Amino acid sequence: MWPADAPPAKNNIDTAAAIAAATGEEISSTTVWKLRTGRQDNPQLRTLTALATFFGVPIGYFGFAAEAEPIDEDLTLKALLRELRAGTISPDVLRALVDLPSDVRWVVDEMILATAAAGRRRRADAG
């Protein structure tokens, strides 16, 4: 999840610069590219520390499977709270979703999951 207070990056150079500005750790755009494309699978501890600091996640997010589930849930909650603060999700809508009985909520769940999958497919086709 890109930090809300960092300007959006347009490329690997911008990403490396944003990480360096926020953490003081110089990371090359080549390193960013290698990590994004899977060409580097064992980054240095200082690189992992900078990434964890920049993205606001525990360092375990980058490779310790035992921590993956709680971290994912925490990041989802953080993203949801950010969207609430930004006004892109209405508190009334969330409240209504939580108040739905479970035998009805599954319909909304399925619609959201199908819409997200369609969005991912569309982005993949466009990219």
The tens digit of pLDDT for each residue in 24-38 reads: 999 999 999 999 888
The whole-number average pLDDT for the span 65-83 is 66
Give the pLDDT score at 45.
86
The whole-number average pLDDT for the span 103-114 is 86
Here the tokens at position 72 are 């994912």
| Mean pLDDT score of the chain | 83
Q: What is the pTM of this model?
A: 0.52
Residue 9 pLDDT greater than 50, yes or no: yes
Give the pLDDT score at 127.
67
